A = this chain, B = another copy of it.
Amino acid sequence: MKLGTLKHAIDHKPVADDFAIIEADRPTCPENGILVRVVHLSLDPYVGSRLRGRHMGEPAPEPMKRAIPGAIVGQVIESEAAGFAEGDWVHAMEGGWQEYVALSASEARKIDPSVAPLAAHAGVLGMPGLTAWAGITQLAKVGAGDTVLIDAAAGPVGGTVGQIARIKGADRVVGIAGGPEKCALVTGAYGFDACIDYKTDGWRERLADALPDGLSVFFENVSADMAMLALTHARLYARGVLCGLVDAYHTDTQSQHPLNAGLIIGKRAQLSGLVVYDFYPRWDEYIAEAAPWIASGQLKFAEDRAGGLEQAPALFERLMNGKNKGKAVVTVAPEQV
């Protein structure tokens, strides 16, 4: 089978040429586990850090041997695990860039292929969507009266954050994104009230104009500096969700990502760190709530889709450079065989 791996250990922002697609032995079904045919592979920014051994203490995968990590949606082709049968569809965070994957029962989560398109489980119903839901509904507890600011707003986390905030009753939802195409997605399909293009002159003034009554919630995906910019526009008692520091994933090794404690105090702000791992036990609850939103058209998602594992390196490089529009998904194999 095909397997995507690192050519060599890296300590830079990954580019397509850092990856190799090699032939590897197809795994066998493990005792008490399942063998899964990978159909959709999720490409996510955190993997850029993990490839350098800098994500949550997890080791980088061994070059020319181990698959690049990545969440997958696939179909069970052999099962020795109670509760899983051949033909079942599953999602697994520890799938990886490979055509087949052996999983323990605890690594796989069964999904219902009827509730939404299968690839959605890699994005809006996958880890990015769960992240957005956790931040908005469990930490910031957004509701009526809230004005919410989200950066990286065209991304699969940010776009979902804004839409769920709206569904939960937020008065106003403002995004920050880079470039006119991304902003068009944010105010178009995603329905934000405004989107500020940070690549244009005068964007900070336009951000202030877009928040005439300030913000009550901000969801931070990019950097400590952006969080502090949000806080300058915050009303008293604003809530901030600290989710990601994408700007630093590839540039920093020792940065302190400084937040200004004085400003936090002055604004009586409440800041909460969010790591989506903590919400994995509630994934089914999220899907039960969000799948009807997708069906009704309240929750939209965009995909940047590639076909075949050979396309994964180029799409990953696009993702690393913020050139994707929507969730980066590689369809490794057809859904129907």
Question: A269 to chain B: closest CB distance in Å?
Answer: 5
A257-B260, A258-B258 given as contacts; is B265 within 8 A of A245 (CB)? Answer: yes
- CB contact list, A258-281 vs B, under 8 A: 258-262, 264-275, 278
A256-B258, A258-B260, A260-B258 given as contacts; is B270 within 8 A of A273 (CB)? Answer: yes
Which residue of chain B has the shortest Cβ distance to A267 in the bound complex?
A: B273
Count chain B CB atoms within 10 A of each CB in A236, A261, A271 and give the residue with the most: A261
B-contact bits for A267-308, CB 8 A (1 contact / 0 none): 111111111001000000000000000000000000000000
| 9 closest residue pairs by CB, A with B | A258-B258, A257-B261, A265-B273, A224-B261, A259-B259, A264-B273, A270-B272, A256-B260, A268-B273
Partner of A261, one of B227, B266, B270, B275: B227
CA distance A259 to B261 in the complex (A): 6
Which residue of chain B has the shortest Cβ distance to A231 in the bound complex?
A: B273
B274 touches A262 (CB 8 A): no
Sampled A-B contacts (15; CB under 8 Å): A245-B265, A256-B258, A256-B262, A257-B262, A258-B259, A259-B260, A259-B261, A264-B273, A265-B275, A266-B273, A266-B275, A267-B273, A270-B270, A270-B271, A271-B272
Interface size on A, residues (CB 8 A): 31
Contacts of A268 in B (CB 8 A): 272-275, 278
CA distance A224 to B261 in the complex (A): 6
- CB contact list, A215-272 vs B, under 8 A: 220, 224, 227, 236, 242-245, 248, 255-262, 264-272
A257-B261, A259-B261, A261-B259 given as contacts; is B278 within 8 A of A273 (CB)? Answer: no
A262 touches B245 (CB 8 A): yes
A264 touches B275 (CB 8 A): no
